[in-house]
Structure 1
């Protein structure tokens, strides 16, 4: 198998895992509340929730075996709250900036409860 094919297959498997995680997370949330992983790789989880009443679009990031977590605003990349070490803030802000338009679309869909799969695939592929 060529290296490029291996990467593509790994990305597809990651997508399948993400879908499984999304379904499992949704099953644990109260009925009608959506939680989904945008990215899940080893000890890193970037996720979003359908959060009624939360006006400012944001993502939740969990990292490490200790599950350090923080929330970051999509519009600015700034930390809103959390225990994730501050040394990661700049990298998170850069990632958010790179994916801001897709994250905003994802937020809008999540808050409405509409389909998000195509946007998730775009983010996971790095588009």
Structure 2
């Protein structure tokens, strides 16, 4: 699972071909031993747990980069390396 971004101790990851279980475009956000799966389009928590402060930071970071993350999701579910969020530039 490639890490696509790191921000304030949070690690944002995308699995290849990861559209079977949750179906929605989503990211795996890790912080220490915690992991939360968050829907990219809605910011909804799908599974797992992050402490409240880190969850809010993750949701904000995802909302800020939603267009880029959606493009990266499309690549990842097709088995392509999505690259790093910094490499995507501003897609808006």
TM-score in terms of structure 1 length: 0.59
Structure 2: segments with no counterpart, 5+ residues? none
1:95 matched to 2:61: yes
More strand by share: 2
1:48 matched to 2:14: yes
Instruction: Report the Cα distance in structure 2 between the residues aligned to 1:104 and 1:79, rounded to whole angstroms.
Output: 17
1:82 matched to 2:48: yes
1:76–1:93 CA contact under 8 A, matched in 2:
no
Structure 1: segments with no counterpart, 5+ residues? 1-34
Instruction: Report the Cα distance in structure 2 between the residues aligned to 1:89 and 1:43, rounded to whole angstroms.
Output: 12
Instruction: Report the Cα distance in structure 2 between the residues aligned to 1:98 and 1:42, rounded to whole angstroms.
Output: 15
1:70–1:80 CA contact under 8 A, matched in 2:
yes
Bigger relative CO (Cα 8 Å, ≥ 6 apart): 2
SS at match of 1:117: coil
TM-score in terms of structure 2 length: 0.77
CA RMSD of aligned residues (A): 2.3
Specify the structure having the higher radius of gyration (Cα): 1
| Superposition map of 1:1-127 within 5 A | 35-40=1-6, 43-50=9-16, 51-53=18-20, 54-64=22-32, 67-117=33-83, 121-122=87-88, 127=90
Query: Structure 2 vs 1, CA of residues 114 and 90 (structure 1 numbering), >3 Å: closer, same or farther?
Result: same
User: Which portions of structure 1, spanning 4 or more consecutive aligned residues, are displaced by more than 2 angstroms?
Assistant: 40-44, 86-90, 114-120
